[in-house]
Amino acid sequence: MKKNIIYILSLSIIFLLTSCKKKEQQVVSGKTTINIWIMPNSPKPVLDLEDVLSDFKKENPDIDIVVTAIDWGAAWSKITVAATSGIGPDICQLGTTWVGTIASMNALLPLNDFISSIGGADAFLPACWNTSHIEGTKEIIAIPWFVDVRGLYYRTDIFKKLNLTKQDLNTWESFEKTLKKIKEAKVVTDEQGNIYVGKEAEDKIGKPGYKLVEPLGIPGKNDWNVIHNLVPWIWAAGGELLSPDRKKAIFNSKEALEGILFYTGLVRKGYVPLKTLELNTAQVSTNFVNGDYAMYFDTSHMLKYFHIPREEGGFGDSIASKNYDVALFPQGPKGRYHFFGGSNLVIFKFTKHPKEAWKVLAYLCSKEAQIKYSQKTGFMPTRKDAFNDPYFEKDPKRKVFKEATKYGKAYPCIPQWGPIEPILTRRLGILWDYVAGVYGPCTDEKIKEQVDLAVEEVNSVLLTVDSSKK
Q: Which residues of 442-460 are buried (b: 16+ CB within 10 A; e: fewer)?
A: beeeebeebbeebbebbee
**Separation of alpha carbons 431 and 451, rounded Å:** 8
**CB atoms closer than 10 angstroms to residue 274:** 15
pLDDT at residue 314, rounded to an integer: 80
Q: How far, in Å, CA of 327 to CA of 403, rounded? A: 10
H or E element: which one contains 339? Answer: strand 338-347
Count of CB atoms situated within 10 Å of the CB of 281: 23
Looking at residue 466, its pLDDT comes to 56
Q: Looking at residue 29, what is its pLDDT?
A: 58
CA distance 412 to 134: 8
Q: Residue 331: its pLDDT value, please?
A: 99
C-alpha dihedral over 73, 248, 130, 300, to 10 degrees?
Answer: 50
pLDDT at 1: 41
End-to-end CA distance of the chain: 64
Per-residue pLDDT of the chain (470 residues; tens, 9 = 90+): 434 444 443 444 334 334 443 333 333 357 999 999 999 999 899 999 999 999 999 999 999 999 999 998 899 999 999 999 999 999 999 999 999 999 999 999 999 999 999 999 999 999 999 999 999 999 999 999 999 999 999 999 999 999 999 999 999 999 999 999 999 999 999 999 999 999 999 999 999 999 999 999 999 988 888 999 999 999 999 999 999 999 999 999 999 999 999 999 999 999 999 999 999 999 999 999 999 999 999 999 999 888 888 877 788 889 999 999 999 999 999 999 999 999 999 999 999 999 999 999 999 999 999 999 999 999 999 999 999 999 998 999 999 999 999 999 999 999 999 899 999 999 999 999 999 999 999 999 999 999 999 999 999 999 876 544 55
Mean pLDDT (the chain) is: 91
pTM of the model: 0.89
- List of domains in the chain: 29-149+340-409 (3.40.190.10), 150-336+414-468 (3.40.190.10)
Question: Which pLDDT score is estimated for 128?
Answer: 94
Three-state SS for 44?
A: coil
Number of H helices, E strands in the chain: 20, 13
Give Cβ neighbours of residue 342 (< 8 Å, ≥ 6 apart): 95, 96, 128, 131, 144, 145, 146, 147, 148, 149, 379, 380, 382
Amino acid at 29: S
CA 70 – CA 37 distance, rounded (Å): 7
State the pLDDT at residue 17. 38
